[in-house]
Each structure stands twice: as structure tokens, then as C-alpha cells.
Structure 1
Amino acid sequence: MAVAALGIMGAVVAVQTDREAEVNELSRAALVGQIDAKRDELRDLQSQVAGLTNTNQSVVSANTRIQGQLDDLGGRVRRAELNTGFAAVHGPGVRITVDNRADVDVDSEIRDEDLAFLVDGLWEAGAEAIAVNDQRINVLGGIRNTNRAVHVNGRPVNAPYVVSAIGDPRTLQARLLQTSEGQEWFALVNGLGFVYSAENVDDMRLPAAPEPDLRDVIELNADPDGQTQEGSAP
């Protein structure tokens, strides 16, 4: 009986061992399958990361290029504003103060055309920016008389008239005397007795010219109703 029992126990142990071996083999195969699946998943994630990295680099490159274009455009706008007078500026130059004499009569008062001689002479002498009584002079502005009042950029200004011109203070006054407009101006100063004084200034600040309302100017690529036309050529 004991021998038979031992035989049965041996058979049971053998069966259990075989089953455990099968289970272990199945577990190993499942584990290998899971590892392979995770590897595939990892490769997919790595591929996605690489794609996102390339996309990010493209976006950064495009952003850098666009920022460079914006900086260039901003620089061009600032230069245009400086050249057209629509930006405040500062620099060395000459400040000229002009006034009527004390006993002046109506016919001998300083008029718009008199100041225009002075301003045009300063431009020709090398001035880069000019203001009259803090009114910036540019191509869209001007000096006009309305009755007896002098207007600059459509705004009234009163004597004494302070003409500020940015330019080389070492040569600006001398060159003014050499221009035809400057000679006309000084003939008026002497003939009508204007009170005139000039001084060199190391640094002066001039305001921007006021922006006028454009009523008749139409953008080249726009129709008369103000709608932009696509494909129009200059």
C-alpha cells in the first residue's frame, strides 16, 4: 500500500510539474508578447516625438523668419516716418527767432510768404527737420495767411515765430546766407526791420507733424469704395 501511495504521489507531482512547466511557458510567451507590443508602442511614440520635434523646429524657423520680416518692416516704417515728418525727432541744429518791430504797421508785418523764404532757405542749406512754433513742417503741411494771422499746418501761430531746424550747426547758418531763398529772407529782414536772432543748439526736439485726413487719395490696390482689389497691379 505504501509503495502504491508513493507511486500515486509521484504521478501527481509529475503531472503538476508538467502543468507548471506549461504555465511557465505560456507566461513567458505572454510576457515576450507584451514586451514586443510595448516595444512597438515605444517606437510609435518615438516616431511621434520625432515628428513633433520637426514640426516645432519648422514653427520656430518660420517664427524667426516672420519676426525678421516684421522687424525689417518696422524699420522701414520708422525711416519713412522720419523722412516724411510723421515722427518726433531730436538732434543738433539752429533755433531762429523772428518778430515784428515794435512800431510795425499792417503792411510790414511778417507774413506767410516771408516765413516760407526762411523755411525753404533752411531746407536748401541742409536742414533735415523744421518746425515753426512747434508745428512740424512737411510736404502735407504748409504756412498760410488767413487775414492777418499766420497758420502752420492749419493752426494759428503768433509772433514771435521760433523756427527750429535740425542740421549741422557748424554750417547751417552760413549756408542759409548762400541760398537764393536765404538772401530773399535777409533782404526782407533788413528792408522791413524784422527782429531776428539765431543760436546754435546742441540738441533740440521737434514734434511729429499732424496726420491730415485724406479724403481724395485712394490706395492703388483699392476700388473707389475702399475695398481692396485682388490681383491688381501697380
Structure 2
Amino acid sequence: MADRGAGTRERPPSGAPLPEHVTTPLLTLITARSMDEDYAHVARKRAEAGEAPASAGRPHWASVVAVVALGVMAAVVAAQTDREAGVNELSRAALVERIDAQNDRVADLQHDVGQLTRANRDVASSSTTVQGQLDGIAARVDRAELTTGFAPVRGPGVRITVDNREGVDVNNEIRDEDLATLVDGLWAAGAEAVAINDQRINALGGIRNTGRAVHVNGRPVLAPYVVQAIGDPRSLQARLLGTSEGKAWFLLVEGLDMVYRAENVDDMRLPAAPERPLRDAIELNADPEGVPEGEGSAP
């Protein structure tokens, strides 16, 4: 077995001071040795050049000062790093907390957006339904206005002019019932709106005689009487001849020798009928035998 003592490192005797390379910090030792080698190299160069060698004391102390400064800087950097480590950790925790809070807020906003989108869709669907109902109501109003005469209308139709012959007897002048027969015949023939001398005929108006004057809607009208009827001009006059009222009218035209002229018109305008307040209706209660209450034979 080989002798292991030959390669062992000798230990200094107990109580002897440790060598300088053992007690000197590693960073200081490396720096000092590297600078000493640099100084030695410079000294050799100077000796070869015949220059006087530089003093060894000054570089040595400069090296020590540089090493000490470097150590102080390293210590400051280490302390600063330790302090910043705590700050950075706190900053990271705060940033993570803010990110979590913003994620929660984004989730809430996405939920709100979803609710608003659904509500908007429901409102749009309801609006479409309401608009359809409004369109239907508007169409019904238009038809009602046309039927009742409370709105002006325009369209093609027939214009009929009626007048008395000159010198006609008073008893043979055109009267309210004659014009009413013509208007009824036009309604039966398919007219949509009728007017006499720009007075629109409707259910609340009427044609009445007051003495020799003819009144339409309570307003006097004079001959010649211009009767305008909106309808299909291609068939309105022919269909008038086919109604019982139309036949009665043409008998009056021949019998009273009236002036009669009819023409088709592509576009005519009829005014609205004057508005009249509706009268109140009172419902009478009937007894079981069908006699209205308050009526009957006296006792």
C-alpha cells in the first residue's frame, strides 16, 4: 500500500499565523495578484528599455484602494438588490391583484353586455311586432277615413254635371231626392267617395231641400250640380245603369228633361266631409214583454 503521507499538505504548527493568501478575501487576492503581475510585466519592460523601476509601494496601495472601493460597491449593490427584491415582490403581488380585479370586472362587463344584447334583441322583436300592428291600424284608419269621408281623397272617377233646362216649371226643378237617387246609384255601382259641388257626402251629412234650395251637409248648393265620384272610370257609368237607383235616375233625367253630362276623369280631388259631433244615444231598458220601460198604456 502506497504511502499517502508523501502527497499530503503540511499544516502549520498550532498557534502559528495563517498565510496571507488564506486570510485575504478571494476577490481581493485575485485582483492584487493580477495587478502585481501587471506591475512586474511593466517593470521588466522598463528595465529592458533602461528606465528606472517604478516604486512598488504606490501601486500596491492604489490596488488596495481600488479593491476596497470595488468591495464597497459590491456590498452596496448587494444591499440594494436585497431591498429591491422585497419591493419587487410586493410590486408583483400588487400587479397580480390588479390583474385579478380587472379580470373580474371584465367578466362582469361581459355579463352586462350579454344581458343588454338579449334585451336589445327582445326590444327589436317587440318593436317589429308593434310596428306591424301600427301599420295594420294605419291601414284600417285609412279605410275608415275613406268610408266615413273624414279625409280628403284623390283618384280617377266620373264627373256628372246636372242642371235644369231654361224655363222649366218650378215643380220640375231638380230636388234633393233626385240628387239622392243619383248618389245612391253611384254608391251601388262601386263608387268609393262622392261629392256634390265640393261637399263630401258621408253618413252624418245629407241632402235636403229647404224651400227651393238644395242643401248638402247643411250648406246650400246651386245648380248646375257637379257630382264627382271616385271609382273605376272604365266601369262606373256602365254599372250605374245596372243598378235600380241608376235606372230610376235616368227615368228622372228623361221625364224632367234635365241637362245631363258625364265624363271620365283620370285624377280628381274630393275634400273631407265637415266634422260633426256625434249625438249621445240613450239605451232604453226593456221589460220582459219587450215594451220599453216608461212606455205602455195608461191605467
Question: TM-score, normalised to structure 1's length?
Answer: 0.80
Q: Which has the higher contact order (CA 8 A, sep 6+)?
A: 1
Quick check: 2:156–2:267 contact (8 Å CA) kept in 1?
yes
Which of 103, 127, 134 is the matching residue for 1:63?
127
Q: 2:154 aligns with which of 79, 90, 93?
A: 90
SS of structure 2 residue aligned to 1:200:
strand
More strand by share: 1
Instruction: Please name the residue that 1:151 is paired with.
Output: 215
Which whole-Å CA distance do the structure 2 matches of 1:175 and 1:56 have between them?
A: 55
- Any idea what SS the aligned residue of 2:89 has? helix
Q: How does 1:124-139 map to 2 (within 5 A)?
A: 124-139=188-203
Tell me the secondary structure at the aligned position of residue 277 of structure 2. coil
Residue identity (%): 74
Task: Please give the TM-score of this superposition, normalised by the length of structure 2.
Answer: 0.64
The answer as to 2:90 corresponding to 1:26 is: yes
SS in 2 for 1:187: helix
Correspondence 1:122 to 2:186 = yes
Residues of 1 paired with 2:236 and 2:84: CA distance? Answer: 107
Aligned to 2:248: 184
Match of 2:268 in 1: 204
**In structure 2, distance between residues paired with 1:4 and 1:103:** 146
Larger Rg: 2
Cα distance in 1 between the residues matched to 2:68 and 2:267: 121
Which residues of structure 2 form unaligned runs of 5+? 1-66, 283-299
State the one-letter code of the partner of 1:34: R
- 1:230 is aligned to none
Which stretches in structure 1 are left out of the alignment for 5+ residues? 219-234
- Structure 1 window deviating more from structure 2 (52-61 vs 156-165): it is 52-61
What one-letter code is carried by the residue in structure 2 that aligns with 1:204? M
Would you say 1:160 and 2:224 are equivalent positions? yes
Cα distance in 2 between the residues matched to 1:169 and 1:8: 115
Distance in 2 (CA, whole Å) between partners of 1:193 and 1:5 is 140
Letter of the aligned partner of 2:230 in structure 1?
I
Q: For residues 189 and 72 of structure 2, what CA distance do their matches in structure 1 show?
A: 125
User: Aligned partners of 2:71, 2:159: CA distance in 1, in Å?
Assistant: 126
Aligned length: 217
Relative distance call for 1:26 and 1:182 in structure 2 (3 A) is closer
CA-based RMSD: 2.7
Structure 2 distance, partners of 1:108, 1:36, is: 102
